[in-house]
Structure 1
Amino acid sequence: MEPSPVPPNFITLSEALSKAGTYQQYNVIGVCVDYFDPTITSTKEHMITFTLHDPWWTERPGMRFRFFSKTEKLLPKVGNQGDVVILRNVKTVNVKGRLLGISNSASNWLVLPSSALREVESSQDLQTKAEWYGKGIPKHYPQTALPNEAELKYAKYIAALEDPMSWGQLPPTTRPQMKAIMENSGGQAPVSADKFSLIQDLRPNKYFDIFGEVRKIHFDKNFPKTEIFLTEYTSREALYNYTSQSSADGLDGDEYGYLEDQPKSQWPGPWGRMTISVMLYEPHSSKAREIIGPGCLVFLRNVHIKMDKNGTKLEGICHTDTYDPTVVNVEVIKPHKDDERARSLISRKQQYAKQAKAEGKLFYWSPHDMPKKRKADEIDEVEEVQRSKPGKNRKRKKKESRMKGGITRQEARAGVDDTNVESKSNTNVRCNSYEVPRKSIVDILDITSLERKTPQGSLYRLPFQNCKYKSHVRVVDFFPDNIADFAVPRNTEMDLLSDEEDDEDLSSIDLTQDHGDRIGWEWRFFLLVEDARQPTAPGERPTQMELLVADTDGDFLLNMTACNLRDNKHAQQLAALKEKLFLLWGNLQEKKEESSTTEALSVKPSARPFECLIKEYGVPVRNSDEQVKGTSDYDRVFRLFGTAI
């Protein structure tokens, strides 16, 4: 057959593949070499997947396409290998490492069955021989334009160049076909196999999907393989037994002896038979090196589980896909509360951490928490810098940091200090509009407001009440004493668990290590406030209350995002925070630094009072079984909200 060029406004499949990530729509013509019968997705859409090939596609089998529709009748009528498919307005996207042509609302299609290709000589023949988008549907529905002479000639040309021997055989009966046959015969359709498995249920010589946490990753840039050590905190007898007295064998070498022996590094846990080694081949290996690190939650698809070369331990392998070598079966999972598998894993991990602590075994919640030895030259450099710092410059730098905050002490005092601090409010602090009358601290704390009567007339007292108040207060103290501790770490993994489960102690975390997305930061500090109105009796102090400032209420108060304020990288944020707080409480910080006792602060306050919003609620007391009889199982908490500097 005479060669035919690619028609105008069409591109080859190789060019279509290069459109990935551009979101550009294109038109292609290809010969179907493989297809799957239509299925229904989790979103109740109908979907068909097929593979197209043309003479310019250099690697077998071809480019895969996937079309979606609300009704099956609008899907491409691909019925056999050799059918010519014309697609318009399609995009190429990356789906889990695989480049696919995907349909959208503007896409349409036309299929020339292989059995009718020889009989089609003109566009008029297509009316009876071809299938297209919208055929047989009322005319008001969008119709696919029939191919012109150049497009039809090209379609027949590429079909004639195809070698059916290279297509491969289709499965004799696909799962949807088997399902239809069984149901039409009055039988029960076979249950679709779920390849997901916990480590405790793995069996050799089978393929599974595995979800777990990477505790260690090992690779050498000179070799294409990557080895990861995965756990989801279930046990399996046929796994390596990690003991807390020694490091794991083979972690820093390779079983084939390609690499030189390296010193064994410390194992972060878990101990026992809970971790499986999975070897990743390309392209999974390269992708893993890009996106995976210790502590990541990953989902591995199609992992070949087998016994090791000694026949005693289970191990996993992610092979290269023989059908499509570009498929990547490694995916990093960002956990969320609706992810039941992630929730279960974190819950099991928390239970294991408690068990390890009770047994005296060192377990690092994150592998990043493991202490790392610093290089000698790095230590010498740090010490040299510390010795070279002139002490006389510290005060000058502190003053410069205040100036960089955008406001001087003299300017700030104009809104804070005054000879009559009792009568004038702090104009630097505002609160949201809340239509309730002001209430003094003494009235808020009045325990008689908690007293109730039963229908029989018996008195009882509530541990707390869920109320919101507006009050006029001034700050007289704060805690912690070091403002750098106003922001605290939060384990984002624990956000998946309920409040009853989330009781992890973060005090042991080494905050100098990189924890990735696992550790977040939030505000958590207390303000000791007192009524703005001074008592009439001489020498008497106003009633005081502790106010918690936490999480998003702290973001609103400070108009700042919490971070690790002890990290030198955030020195500028710490300086800005101190200047911001000066607007709230005046020279209170300087007074605390100059005095060693709270009593020394018992002087006339220098800060003006401000109006704020307070919410009261109860917090369950931990270990409530040990509480004294007659006391409440709840702590009464007062928290600042809706107030901003």
Structure 2
Amino acid sequence: MSNLASFSPIREAEDAPDGSSFLGVIVEIKSPFTTIQKDSRPVVSLEFTIQDQFSVILDPRSRLKCRLNRDSEERLPKGSVGDIALLKRMRIISTNGNVVASNAGRLSSEAAFFPDRHIPKPHMSTAYAPGGSSTLKFEAMVDSQPPSPAEQLAIIGMKATAANFLPMILQQSSTGLPPVARYNQSPRNPSNSSRNSFTPVKSSYTLKKQALIKDILSDKFYDLTGEVVKMFYTHNSMDLYITDYTENKHLFPYADPNDPDVIGITATNWRGPYGQVTLMVRLWDSHAILAREVINEGDIAYLQNVRIKWAPDGRLEGSMHGDSRFPNKKFVHKCVDPVQVNSVLQRKMAYEGKHEQPSTYHVPCNAPQHVPQNVPQNVPKNRSGKAKRAEKKERDRLQRELEQEELQEKLTKEERERAGLNNDVRSGHSTFQLSTVREIINNPARRTTTEDGLPLTLPFINCRYRAHLRVVDFWPMTLAQFSRSMGDATFNTKATDEQRRKSERKFEWNFVLLVEDAASPARSDKERIPLVFGNLQGQNLLKIDAGDLRKDERTLQKLEEILFILWGNLYERKVALWKEKKIRLPLPSDDPQLRLQNRPFECCLEEYGEAIGAHAEADHWVRRFSPFNTTIMSKWNT
């Protein structure tokens, strides 16, 4: 093979030209089969699938179906799941969105499989690098050449990237089912081990129980009853904010914006309740679908099997994942138990009386007019053998769900270390698929058709993403301008003059960070995203409240120290380039004048639209991006 180790990302395979090369782990492979061509000539085909990114276990966007065709089986490479496939100069066949990479004689295609057990770890790769004398063992298609040193390093790197996923890929291959438990590859020496030898890792498990929010603990399952005060949709999940009006010090502290004596975080458009009484529960799969159908804001909901865990910002949150084996089981209900509903309403009345402020929510439609006396609810009964078996199945299901989430969290941490991410910047939603900046900007969901069948590109879509980013510029120019007074008519435009006069000493965060993809430095602003920070986003990121930074030197110093963790020497370089050469940022990342030194970080961001004008129509919307659930860990908040 050639000395060029340049491979196309599988995510871009659909748009890749013929002659593209790919490198990936074999995750599926079939036995060779023979077909007879029109000229009665037999052709033997080998079909397999490779994957080149492993941010999650099963990533369809990073998988590519491949087909090798020769006149006999002996001319095809022999391989198995877990091997690394090196494919050079392939023909790209795209039909109805299905992409297949195939060899072609006119392109002089090459293919080689490298057994994973013979691929060393990166720290043992010196002998295979340029200047070394060793060659990796491989099985090749006829007319394929041995790998170059650069290609060997790429193969070793791919094996290291997928190392933590190989046991699961192998288990999936042997069972035909997605991996449901956490495994360790037991031996340290893979050459002396059986490929399918795994040791289960035990995990703690606690049976679910009915509980109040004030009593919930991390890593346990509960049945919860509470009022739904807010609902938020994403493309594949749903966030329910519920409260039973009991306080838990590990929940998010919502501050009343009308009470200056209350300490907490002011959330835009949050109508209450205030304090630490509201739990965010993320619903996935069938749970999210069911909640959209049966739950409305203001209802009393009954949620079963809610797993409580720590969020990246150090708060408790809930999670409910679906079970593909039992998709019709319902764990999200509108509460019909009059005793439980009345209990929530009584605590709500006590809360409102204590805070002297009635809730803005209506009385739930499932609220009882009175509480029947002596109504038995959830009374234990003598369990039959069938009930015991059902309970055991339920325990097993919850055990698999817990193990799967723990495995995903462990893999996310290891992925961060491999990617060289900034560990002092934390984000949540590790189950979100990783997206590149290019994928976010060119989201195909924006392309649709009109009723007349004409193509239409939407100005924006409501969507959430997770990405690895790097800060390359910011606005305004000085840190002292990162906060704005609510008394400023050019900033607080919707308030009356009287309202602005009363709030002129109140300040909110307002700034923009320009980011690019951590793995693909941008050469133009078209490959970058401006992240807009309002007050809530700024508080979540910095964990400090805004103030008059022109007068409050202490808060300004905190801000500079916290942002240094995020963007390194960006502030110093921006000021120096302007003072010395009158050069304004942003510059291309490889510009020698920039000399930027900062680390990429993981960020959750959401896309939305901002209306321009008093009576905005669809073509008067501007596409915006803002971060969420992303925090800089500093001495001010740890």
TM-score by shorter chain over 0.5? no
Structure of greater Rg: 1
Give the TM-score normalised by structure 2.
0.30
